[in-house]
Structure 1
């Protein structure tokens, strides 16, 4: 075969993996097509290089499979054709002509995909394999994370390569996983139906024929009805080879012990086979560690897929997933093999399924706000740690206010979205601390800082998996916009100068993450029993009120104490953790708490008090006098006490 010759042949193995895969001597293609003359339009160096037609022998149902035989498949790009019209292959692997973000130039036109890119180099790559109980997730938008000029990244801003440049920052912060909002090829051009003519049809009570036209807005978030799920987004690549950039990004994260999760939006009606093949492809081709499902996809098929048996699966709910209590996150009825087949005796698989927890956000914001009748919800949410799967907790997420806006706004301010304020949630479950929006009043800003301290403490002291929305650790604000889906601008881009402005906030969050990691009592693998099952003298977790051992959860009470028995948690070196007492005063006046009595030769010291200036989750020591059995909590504050030996030097 001469160089640059290419021909089509009946596939020998009927591989139904969507799109193009490498084979010896060329490439294998699997695609869905109709029409009288279905085929492949080939291009080389931007010029048409011929047409290859599928034959009836290559068809199985609505799918055509064939081998494209050539010594140089990487030199070609292609479109599909039904014999009349050229079409983009939605299962393509990369689309170089989509490099320019938000360009309308390609809208409505077929865009070629690479036939086959260069083989990715995964040598030396090793997945971190972080257990869910030790995971701290950082959710970010690839473009928005570094696109602002303050990132200092120049031409690499807003790209996979730019994200690599920020890995040292994320490593220092202490997170263990990044969750990437959609970064496969999605349609970023937002359209709306427009009538071709204005004649009214009385039978259908509609205007005449409608077509969709661009509105000028951009789909910044990436939740689209038109998606090419098997291609990294070309507009997120700094160079021409987005496939290799994504590969290098994942490898760079893995070298620092950080996992990579990726969000996929599947609209209603997406075939389950496509959902499963998409997840398999990104795990096998790009080594991602977790799949976040949004839209209409259900987690059960992925949890029960043997190919994804070591992949973390995240979804809005695990209802219907059939996960038995105590399992690792799959229904064993789907398998003939044991869940731990092929593992050593000491390598029992941990949980790998987790559900996102909007209920946590709403309930904990009510607690933070000081609403009545919230102490029972605080008890439930802070200890939630279901058998069989994890729960992802957050105080802010993409759809809604950032954490800084959560304490600065009560009403949404979405005027820039151009929908007359009709978009976005109405009830944000927030309190603006006395003034709507930015404030120059020291008293207002002081309360806001304390409330943010409280919010982060509640998040990282909860038993579930904490998730931080990118920028919340240094006060990122969207100026009250709670639905910035179309804001590809400074509203959504992180302003890195805020890192200097809010250095104390960043330091507090970083030290709080470190504190959580050092104390497994706050992120146990097991569900709390609230009993002393092992005879240590204390329950694993117990609840208290202003009087020890007497929790009060009715109407006006806004105070709670939680005692964590360190004997029930083991550090990596096998030693037991410390015992902690965490007190919550969500009331707007001070309250005196009685402290649980400790065994002889033990006493309490203060680790953190958000009612005190310069509160720090690092173990700042404030000794309590011997025999001193009460502690006064200031308004809207949280205190952490730790039990130490009486003879320990301070």
Structure 2
């Protein structure tokens, strides 16, 4: 271990390691530290790692800083901070713990579950450990940020035109036979032509990537011989996770991520990141010391008031936790707020991503312990000239009793709408009586979003997500089967609203298989043609299964990876999904900009929306209250479009009539003379007796098969 004092004063901004050909400036925030060392790592002539410490003697505004010449990109580094060991008051300084730079642009290596990672003495938690953590933890990396974007610019796809596809970087390509083997499971694999072509052909406009900020697995998972697969355990908010890099982890992952974004943009696909700013991988008081805890534990994490009675260090009650992960980031803290905003801007301006989905957003939107929509973070994002124009999606709940806020996030935020998910699952799979709530969800959830100036596109509609059953499992299992997670099947939700249609799990019964596929297609068509922003979970369109596991967060294996073989794929569901997305894309009637009003959009024209009873009449108030009604029709009027024809310009009416029958019996439909559809053609159907191309006209009576969707376009 070497030591030198040849450090220039440098400057206290920007935070992190700022590389130039002449020198590199290092700046790290630790306002209560008494001393700080920058630690550089290289190899000696025998190939053994060598650490050289440089004391940073300059400190201003709580930031320690210094500058060193001749630092090459790819150099590994970390910090050691000295100061008080007083956990009861939020001070956990320990010079024996190597700390990641909170602003590191890349990290090298991983962590191993070892006592050295913990800041306290394992056997005496009130005492500071003297065991060095450097041999078992990761390092930050100095990065050259230059990159040729070749004119890439933000796509700014309108919300009404957006179709989101939630996927995992590794799981999507790990088994893809058309992706070169050495690129599978990586950023480069996701940006490969085979993947981009598939996404574009399916009809999605944006991928929402499960967390790609550098994360590490929790010790409790490692002890079970598993690993954190989903990635909701972030620790470096500027660094793309090195585990998804095919080219190395000494900064190459940064360039590879940028190449992936550039490739997806060329294919017309936006990139949205699922970001986890609400907690970190340092977990609770007994978690590992990796970065923030060793630099500013007092400020970065929310604390609970001390308990009544004798004062002292409460080892199990130090942090206030509404994330379920041991800690909650204090977004009012100077460093935390600055870091979140700097990180978001970095990913937009330097990495060219198009938006963010915020995990457990209410955990961040709190003043003290109360949810506050006027909190510093929301105000700062709303006025930021960069961030206010990107896609901002909230998961509008956390794990607390008061953290469920669906329909309450302020503009311009859009939200994951779990009420859409639950209502449509109940309708198609559980026979829940009545169609009132179903109609509300299909029309954009006006009960949640119409009262404060927002639109239907503030609702991100979904049937499944990474968290829960896949679509195939939703129609194949009624109980979770999470034994592989090593938690005795206690983890994961029991509120699945699923249906196995007669047999639990996979079966050879052709009748059941056909029904399951039809139900999956029904759910996908409904999702794609509902008002709002549809979100599809990767692989649902082709029958991906997790074998009944509804909480595969720790399954980095074939349980979670998408199987691209056609043998057992539900390719009929794929074709139906693709057709539904094409209809949505080509016809504005299926993605209207404004709320439906149930009145004509032009004088003398038809209503913009009408709900139809199977008898042929418009729905009445009594019909809406009929719990036995399990089918409904809806007319959606398209604005007349001018399109050149054989004899000049002519009007094209692209209105639609959709019928949904969730009953296990056929539904007789009367189509009397009406102002909506005088004549039409079936353009999409899950009913084999009414295939696409079937003609329909006013005065006709139809029989809609059990558990089917039929879409008719006017002619």
TM-score (norm 1): 0.83
What residue number does 1:97 align with? Answer: 109
State the Cα deviation string for residues 94-119 of structure 1 (Å, max 9, x = none): 11223xxx866997534221123352
Shift of 1:451: 0.8
Equivalent-residue separation in structure 1 for 2:659 and 2:676 (angstroms): 22
The question of 1:402 aligning with 2:402 is answered no
What residue number does 2:557 align with? Answer: 489
The counterpart of 1:232, out of the listed 221, 230, 240, is 240
CA 1:597–1:513: 2 relative to 1, 3 Å: same
What residue number does 1:271 align with? Answer: 330
What residue number does 2:364 align with? Answer: 297
* Equivalence map 1:360-439=2 (5 Å): 360-384=420-444, 386=449, 387-388=453-454, 390-439=458-507
State the Cα deviation string for residues 355-392 of structure 1 (Å, max 9, x = none): 00111111100110252334011110011164435211
State the Cα deviation string for residues 301-357 of structure 1 (Å, max 9, x = none): 42332221221100023755433xxxxx2xxxxxxxxxxxxxxxxxxxxxxx31001
The answer (yes or no) to whether the contact 1:532–1:540 under 8 Å persists in 2 is yes
Shift of 1:9: 3.5
The question of 1:222 aligning with 2:231 is answered yes
The answer (yes or no) to whether the contact 2:171–2:562 under 8 Å persists in 1 is yes
Shift of 1:578: 0.6
The counterpart of 1:173, out of the listed 167, 186, 202, is 202
* Equivalence map 1:391-540=2 (5 Å): 391-498=459-566, 501-540=569-608
The question of 1:548 aligning with 2:617 is answered yes
Equivalent-residue separation in structure 2 for 1:407 and 1:489 (angstroms): 23
State the Cα deviation string for residues 178-213 of structure 1 (Å, max 9, x = none): 000001111124427xxxxxxxxxxxxxxxxxxxx8
The question of 1:188 aligning with 2:217 is answered yes
Shift of 1:54: 2.1
The counterpart of 2:708, out of the listed 617, 637, 642, is 637
What residue number does 2:129 align with? Answer: none
Equivalent-residue separation in structure 1 for 2:186 and 2:80 (angstroms): 32
What residue number does 2:27 align with? Answer: 30
Shift of 1:134: 0.4
Equivalent-residue separation in structure 1 for 2:677 and 2:476 (angstroms): 45
Equivalent-residue separation in structure 2 for 1:422 and 1:143 (angstroms): 27
The answer (yes or no) to whether the contact 2:274–2:359 under 8 Å persists in 1 is yes
What residue number does 1:583 align with? Answer: 659
The answer (yes or no) to whether the contact 1:370–1:558 under 8 Å persists in 2 is no
Q: Structure 1 regions of 5+ residues with no counterpart?
A: 193-212, 324-328, 330-352, 645-650
What residue number does 1:308 align with? Answer: 387
What residue number does 2:296 align with? Answer: none
Equivalent-residue separation in structure 1 for 2:524 and 2:643 (angstroms): 23
Q: Provide the secondary structure at the position in 1 that maps to 2:350.
A: helix
Q: Provide the secondary structure at the position in 1 that maps to 2:346.
A: helix
Equivalent-residue separation in structure 1 for 2:185 and 2:606 (angstroms): 51
Shift of 1:91: 2.5
The CA RMSD over aligned residues, in Å, is 2.9
CA 1:585–1:570: 2 relative to 1, 3 Å: farther
The answer (yes or no) to whether the contact 1:161–1:245 under 8 Å persists in 2 is yes
Q: Provide the secondary structure at the position in 2 that maps to 1:215.
A: coil
Segment drifting more, 559-568 vs 398-407: 559-568
Shift of 1:621: 1.6
The counterpart of 1:19, out of the listed 4, 16, 19, is 16
The answer (yes or no) to whether the contact 2:164–2:535 under 8 Å persists in 1 is yes
State the Cα deviation string for residues 60-110 of structure 1 (Å, max 9, x = none): 13x32x352425442532111125323222331111223xxx866997534
Equivalent-residue separation in structure 2 for 1:71 and 1:574 (angstroms): 70
TM-score (norm 2): 0.75
The answer (yes or no) to whether the contact 2:430–2:498 under 8 Å persists in 1 is no
Shift of 1:599: 5.1
Equivalent-residue separation in structure 1 for 2:643 and 2:444 (angstroms): 21
Shift of 1:22: 4.1
Shift of 1:469: 0.5
State the Cα deviation string for residues 436-486 of structure 1 (Å, max 9, x = none): 111111211121121112111110110111111111111000111111111
State the Cα deviation string for residues 486-543 of structure 1 (Å, max 9, x = none): 1111100111104774332222222221111011111122222222253243221111
The answer (yes or no) to whether the contact 1:21–1:27 under 8 Å persists in 2 is yes
Equivalent-residue separation in structure 2 for 1:395 and 1:571 (angstroms): 36
Segment drifting more, 423-432 vs 561-570: 561-570
Q: Structure 2 regions of 5+ residues with no counterpart?
A: 83-94, 118-132, 280-322, 332-336, 366-376, 397-405
Equivalent-residue separation in structure 1 for 2:235 and 2:479 (angstroms): 33
What residue number does 1:348 align with? Answer: none
The answer (yes or no) to whether the contact 1:372–1:557 under 8 Å persists in 2 is no
The answer (yes or no) to whether the contact 2:409–2:415 under 8 Å persists in 1 is no
Q: Provide the secondary structure at the position in 1 that maps to 2:274.
A: strand
Shift of 1:403: 0.5
The question of 1:39 aligning with 2:48 is answered no
